[in-house]
Amino acid sequence: MAATIIDGKKIAETIQQELAEEIKQLQAEHHLTPGLAVVLVGENPASKVYVRNKNKACHDIGIYSEQHNLPQEASEQELLALIQQLNHDDKIHGILVQLPLPDHIDEHKVINTILPEKDVDGFHPVNIGKLMIGEKGFRPCTPFGVQKMLSYSGVPIDGAHVVVVGRSNIVGKPIANMLLQKQPDANATVTVCHSRTKDLAAITRQADILIAAIGQPEMITAEMVSENAVVIDVGVNRIEDPASKTGYRLVGDVKFDEVSQKCKAISPVPGGVGPMTITMLLYNTVESAKQSLER
Ligand SMILES: Nc1nc(=O)c2c([nH]1)NC[C@@H]1CN(c3ccc(C(=O)N[C@@H](CCC(=O)O)C(=O)O)cc3)C=[N+]21
């Protein structure tokens, strides 16, 4: 039987409406408008699309946003100075530096310079540490979006066997930690697999919830999933497609056509995790603005 489609776009819209209400209230009661600064270095075309989408989403729900474009040749020093300036800017509650950065810039140094209380991407070691020990802090937007997507869809996480394929710092490792926590919308049994895993399919077939975050187009096939599985596809891969007017097409890490004929529920690409990622960035920015009232 065909799987239920987990409509990330629709869930994202619902959450964005809730955020818009919350922002109206912050403005009425505290004269406070949440503010986000997005920093883009260079000309990566995919990055430009995301940055544009983020700015639009901010505008739609009432978040103030500003975009800082640095040229590809900008020095690390220049970028760090900009971050320092944004750290001290009271209009700005969230700072996002679009990754990847050019090779001559040290990503760790850049992330470490962002104040943890403005790190709405959840990439600063302080926020990663808080996630690890279950303390309040910013959660990385993509895994946070996956968790919300599951809970909004009524997928039981408590006690479920979650299999994560992929061990990146921005998706695999944090999602595994989040769903493992002794907290609501978590309490899962988590297995993390990766490129060195022996007999991957034997493990993925055991998943109640399968999270594909490998970065390999259409790697997860029908024989790797069970009939009861809920499949969340985190992949965003651009593959060439001469038939498309853009010359490319977006596919996930899951072979959607065959897997969706077998499993219980599945999130599509596009229209799945992507819109949730942007929404959780907005969520974190609103959260950061609220926290600024308490300082
Ligand atoms: N500091 C930082 N934070 C990020 O969160 C971050 C980043 N760097 N670098 C790049 C990745 C990628 N990313 C996406 C966000 C939304 C969609 C998204 O909304 N995708 C749409 C389709 C968009 C399209 O058509 O290209 C969808 O899946 O429906 C995709 C990818 C955030 N990233």
In this structure, the answer to whether residues 197 and 270 fall within a common structural domain is yes
Residue 214 lies in a domain: yes
Residue 23 lies in a domain: no
In this structure, the answer to whether residues 99 and 183 fall within a common structural domain is no
Residue 160 lies in a domain: yes
pLDDT of residue 257: 98
Of residues 277 and 46, the one with the higher pLDDT is 277
Q: Which domain range does residue 49 map to?
A: 30-115
In this structure, the answer to whether residues 217 and 101 fall within a common structural domain is no
In angstroms, the CA 214 to CA 183 distance is: 26
Tell which of 115, 130, 165 closes a domain.
115
In this structure, the answer to whether residues 73 and 177 fall within a common structural domain is no
pLDDT of residue 44: 86
What residue type is assigned to position 74 of the chain?
A
pLDDT of residue 122: 98
In this structure, the answer to whether residues 168 and 76 fall within a common structural domain is no
| Residue 121 is a catalytic residue | yes
Q: Are 289 and 22 in contact (CB under 8 A)?
A: no
Residue with tokens 């999130």: 267
Q: Tokens for 158?
A: 């408590």
Our mutation pick for probing the ligand 1 site, out of 47, 50, 149, counting the most ligand atoms within 8 A of Cβ, is 50
Q: Are 233 and 267 in contact (CB under 8 A)?
A: yes
Residue 6 lies in a domain: no
In angstroms, the CA 214 to CA 161 distance is: 19
Three-class secondary structure of residue 181 per DSSP: coil
Percent of the chain with pLDDT over 90: 96
| pLDDT of 174 strictly over 90 | yes
pLDDT of residue 266: 98
Give tens-digit pLDDT for 226-281: 999 999 999 999 999 999 999 999 999 999 999 999 999 999 999 999 999 999 99
Q: Tokens for 258?
A: 């065959």
- Which alpha helices (DSSP H) does 88-171 contain, by range? 107-113, 125-133, 141-152
In this structure, the answer to whether residues 145 and 261 fall within a common structural domain is yes
Active-site position among 119, 121, 208, 253: 121
Secondary structure (H, E, C), 198-257: CCHHHHHCCCCEEEECCCCCCCECHHHCCCCCEEEECCCEEEECCCCCCCEEEECCECHH
Percent of the chain with pLDDT over 70: 100
CA-based nearest residue to 37, from 109, 100, 104, 115: 115
Give the residue-averaged pLDDT of 142-170.
98
Residue 282 lies in a domain: no
How many CB atoms are closer than 10 A to CB 198?
Answer: 7
Residue 132 lies in a domain: no
| pLDDT of 46 strictly over 90 | no
Residue 127 lies in a domain: no
In angstroms, the CA 236 to CA 251 distance is: 6
**What band does 48 get if pLDDT is binned at 50, 70 and 90?**
confident
The enclosing domain of 106 has a CATH number of: 3.40.50.10860
In this structure, the answer to whether residues 151 and 111 fall within a common structural domain is no
Residue 287 lies in a domain: no
In this structure, the answer to whether residues 107 and 161 fall within a common structural domain is no
Q: Tokens for 13?
A: 């819209």
Q: Are 191 and 218 in contact (CB under 8 A)?
A: no
In this structure, the answer to whether residues 66 and 182 fall within a common structural domain is no
Of residues 118 and 49, the one with the higher pLDDT is 118
In this structure, the answer to whether residues 177 and 268 fall within a common structural domain is yes
Our mutation pick for probing the ligand 1 site, out of 7, 277, 281, counting the most ligand atoms within 8 A of Cβ, is 277
Reported pTM: 0.97
| Residue 77 is a catalytic residue | no
- In total, how many domains does the chain have? 2
Average confidence score pLDDT of the chain: 97
In this structure, the answer to whether residues 111 and 147 fall within a common structural domain is no
CA-based nearest residue to 150, from 67, 254, 232, 42: 232
Give the residue-averaged pLDDT of 163-169.
98
pLDDT of residue 24: 98
Flag whether 151 is marked binding. Answer: no
Alpha carbon nearest to ligand 1 atom 3, residue: 98
Give tens-digit pLDDT for 178-220: 999 999 999 999 999 999 999 999 999 999 999 999 999 999 9
Q: Tokens for 12?
A: 């994202």
In this structure, the answer to whether residues 94 and 153 fall within a common structural domain is no
The enclosing domain of 260 has a CATH number of: 3.40.50.720
| pLDDT of 45 strictly over 90 | no
Q: Tokens for 159?
A: 């006690």
CA-based nearest residue to 20, from 65, 51, 52, 58: 58
Between the CA of 274 and the centroid of ligand 1 the distance, in Å, is 6
pLDDT of residue 194: 98
Residue 235's DSSP bridge partners are none
Model ipTM? 0.96
